[in-house]
Chains A and B, each alone.
Chain A
Amino acid sequence: MPETQNSDSETIIAQNKEEWNRLEFLLQDPEPNIFWINCDTARLKKPLHDAITEHFPQLKPYDIYISEKTESLSRIISYDDKDKITKDTVIHIFGLEEAVKSVDFLGNLNFQRDSFFRKAPAHIVFWADFDTATVLTRKAYDFWSWIVFTFDFTTPDMLLTARQKGFIGILKLEDNEIKMPSKDSVERIRHLEHEWDEFLKSVNGKPFTVKQMRDAVTIAMALAKEYREEGKYTLAIYLLGRALELNPSVIEEIDNGIILNELGLAFHEIGDENQAAFFFEKALTIGLNIYGPNSLDIATVLSNLAVSKITLEDFEKAKELLERALKIYDAKKISHPNKARDLSNLGVVLMNLNQHDLARQLLEQALDINIEYYNEESPNIARVRSILALNYFRTGNLETAKKMLEQVLESDLKNFGENHHVIAEDYFNLGSLSLQLQLDLQAIKYCEKSYDIFKKNFGDNHPKTQLVLNSLQLIYKHGPRQTP
């Protein structure tokens, strides 16, 4: 075996020695095997994938990215494609976290299990996480029951730099959609950037042909999505702008809608909420023309626009939008994490409109849906509990709120470890509650922990660090009300 040149890979292998040895042994098997690799963070996938490629140069990686739009694996993997798949190939399948949101995809996993497994001409590696495994065990059990070789890899501390975005806690009400750390898009970005460069070279100042313009739009949209998911928002906005500038007659209306929605998301991420709302509204208008009012795509745009309105504190408008989105799910009798997301967002809105009882009902519904989909310790469940705790907090049910937040903390500690900023938010929330319960010493303890973690993650000047520091100073100033 060649020595790996990649220090990340070496560190991962060293930390996961036993799992790596199993993987290595089974990858040497001349008969195809099916592997399921659970990574505790998405950050781990790329270097681990690289490690496999480095250690098995004779096995050609064939990476496939699937999404919520993927109906079935057989649609995107053709075992008959001898150019791409031979017995010396390893098929890496990424994006299951998204794909399992599709009911059709899950159903097809069960239906196509036998042919998928029995006819596999090469090793297949499913890259996923515990939540996705849980969804499969519940929703695609026939498929899951044939997965034998599962591997649990953990991320070495030195790689734990990925920052989670979009968290909502008691600190601030905002978009509560959970965004797990970005997917392994480095490879895709490299590939798309190459295509974009090639495209620019091929055009080289000459007027675009219609075909070139269409190609440009396709590449720009794909690349912009990757940039946005990787946090490179300015680049995403630049590319989307370029795509929009192209002659509109060659851009499909549907693509226009997607570009506008992507622009909205990118502006939302950089905090320009007015621009975000502007683009979401345009995307909505186009979407309604294409899909009509009852499509799930419309529900998604309504939901995005609602988040913008929440951020702009236009709660009445947000309420109306979310109610429209939820009606679409209800009409289709869909119980899905996206519906849970909209329910909890509406819960947040109603709490801002002082309709706490109704908000609590919606949040409980959201919690039920997430419990149905995810493992008890999933961050998605913890997030809804966190908002429910806020609801209890605001309605004076402090003990229940505290109990719920303790549950959230316990779950988050398992998922994120001690030093993650999510934990800092949990500690601060518990600190705030303890203060209300006149348990000042406990409040100090929680807030100090929160402060340390925020400082470590974001530095001293970050608004969240400052908020906790100010709270601590206030408690110190008035003196603790609780005897030690």
Chain B
Amino acid sequence: MAKYPYDFPVREIRQAISVLKPQFEVTDWPELYVDFSRVRAKETFNSLSVKLNVIDDVFESTNDYSKILYTGHTGCGKSTELVMLHHYLNHKDRFFSVYVDVNESLQMSSFEPEDLFILLITKLVEALKESGVSFSVSGLKKLADDWIAQDPEIVDEVEKKDSKEAGAQLEAGFNFWNFLSLKGNLKTAFSYNSKTSTIIRKSIKQNQGDYIVTFNEILYEIKNEILTKDFGREIIFILDGIEKLRQEKYDTYVQTFFRDARLIQNLNSNLICCVPIDSIYDIHVCSLIDGLYQRFILPLIDVNDNTRQLFNSIVSKRIDVNKFMENGVMDYCIEQSGGNPRQLIKIVAEALSYSQPNNFIVNMEIARKASQELGLDLRRTLTSEHFRILKEENYYDDADKIIIDLLFSLALLEYNGNTRIRKPNPLLQPFLS
């Protein structure tokens, strides 16, 4: 779909509302990106690059493959940063980077651990097709042929969709992957109890070791092809969306990444995966993380003199702040954001929606009202026990479930720095006195 031709920073009120919505795809507009790396203390993307063995913008091959769990608070900019990282890493001197929006590719409510295997292969095939790299490697054909031999009907299930679109005259096994990698086909095939999903999941579960060997053979062949074509020095998978496996699906996440982590751990490829922040605080999981993964937490950034201008840029790159806001109002909104980019954008969008009586110019009174409204929404989620904890300073450091809940709901915010300071969300301040 063609992008709407915004002329940033926008000066028209309806456009301003549009570009401040959470669903506005900021990654479509690289000029709107605000680089916080220099103020992210030790947890910078430089350190992430080092973890991936990218030094001076060049990847140096090693015998190890990095498996990194990446997380952060809701709204702290995880996905935006991950997309930017993908664009950076996807370079001939670094990686052939396969970015996977898991949510777009699979029906998350029916996600099973085995799905990760087929997801990675399918997205790899998709990326190869996009780059014009051949995926005619014997391992892929062998995998598909094995499944098709178990029940030929799975060919019909996968290929009956969009057969015109697929077009290519490929051998049966390759065609299977070709169809599966077409937009939406993988999600459809795995969104209900289809024969395809049943057979594939069962096969992988029963013969996991064999599948890992086959997958690594496939990766080996494809890596050679990528190196020959100078598309990168290694393959990296970047998975966004796994962090949504929370609550009822949290156990599936733990199963996939910890209790039965063989697939990921033995995968001869690098991987960055965005995971639920709960797991970082979950005593049953965090003890396993260090043995299996490197971790990277994208922290919130404290609002101070060094960072205020960067926060300002998040909004001022999108809308003409001088046109829509009176002097000093933006600073107030930044303070109220608590260092959470999404919260900042929400405050400004909410304030604009209240600004009609003032000719769409947000003054301090309107900003306070917007902030109060969002604060009330947040307050509504809290119990008296939550309030008791929030009112007691220096009582936020325990890993009690109730404190973790406060962190997840953004009632408590955790910041940069060696001590990982936690503070109540500024939106709640009026209710804490």
Contact = CB atoms under 8 A, between A and B. Distances in A.
A and B co-occur in one complex: yes
A118 B247 CA distance: 24
B380 A375 contact: yes
A34 B346 CA distance: 13
Given A22-B354, A138-B409, A141-B408, A130 B380 contact: yes
B287 interface: no
A145 B244 CA distance: 13
Interface in B306-355: 342, 346, 349-350, 353-354
Contacts of A25: 353, 356
A130 B408 CA distance: 20
B109 A108 contact: yes
Contact of B381 (A30, A103, A107, A138): A138
Interface in A289-309: none
A110 B357 CA distance: 35
A451 B109 CA distance: 52
Contacts of A399: none
Contact of B103 (A72, A103, A114, A375): A114
B240 to A, nearest CB: 10
Which interface residue of A71, A110, A111, A137 has the most chain B CB atoms within 10 A? Answer: A111
B373 interface: yes
Interface in B192-248: 244, 246-248
Contacts of A149: 349-350, 353
Interface string A63-83: 000000001100000000000
Grouping DSSP codes into helix (H, G, I), strand (E, B) and loop, the A interface class, with mixed when no group exceeds half, is: helix
Contacts of B349: 148-149
A137 B406 CA distance: 11
A148 B346 contact: yes
Nearest to A28: B14
Nearest to A381: B383
A376 B349 CA distance: 29
Interface residues of A, number: 41
A115 B244 contact: no
A137 B109 contact: no
Nearest to A106: B247
A29 interface: yes
Contacts of B381: 134, 137-138, 375
Contacts of B357: 21
Contacts of B20: 148
Which interface residue of B109, B249, B342 has the most chain A CB atoms within 10 A? Answer: B109
A150 interface: yes
Nearest to B411: A137
B409 A141 contact: yes
Interface string A26-62: 1001110110000000000000000000000000000
Given A137-B380, A146-B23, A148-B22, A111 B353 contact: no
Nearest to B408: A141
A392 to B, nearest CB: 19
B17 interface: yes
Interface string A125-154: 000001001100111011001101110000
A118 B3 CA distance: 13
A375 B107 CA distance: 31
Given A29-B17, A107-B108, A107-B247, 6 more contacts: A21-B356, A22-B354, A112-B103, A371-B383, A375-B381, A376-B382
Interface of B: 14, 17-18, 20-23, 25, 74-75, 101, 103-104, 107-109, 244, 246-249, 342, 346, 349-350, 353-354, 356-357, 373, 377-378, 380-384, 408-409
Interface of A: 18, 21-22, 25-26, 29-31, 33-34, 71-72, 103-104, 106-108, 110-112, 114-115, 117-118, 120, 130, 133-134, 137-139, 141-142, 145-146, 148-150, 371, 375-376
24 contacts: A21-B356, A22-B353, A29-B17, A31-B14, A33-B17, A34-B23, A71-B109, A72-B109, A104-B109, A108-B109, A114-B23, A117-B21, A118-B25, A137-B377, A137-B380, A138-B409, A141-B409, A145-B75, A145-B342, A148-B350, A149-B353, A375-B381, A376-B383, A376-B384
Q: Please list the 4 inter-chain residue pairs (A to B) with the smallest Cβ-Cβ separation, ordered nearest first.
A: A111-B108, A117-B23, A146-B22, A137-B381
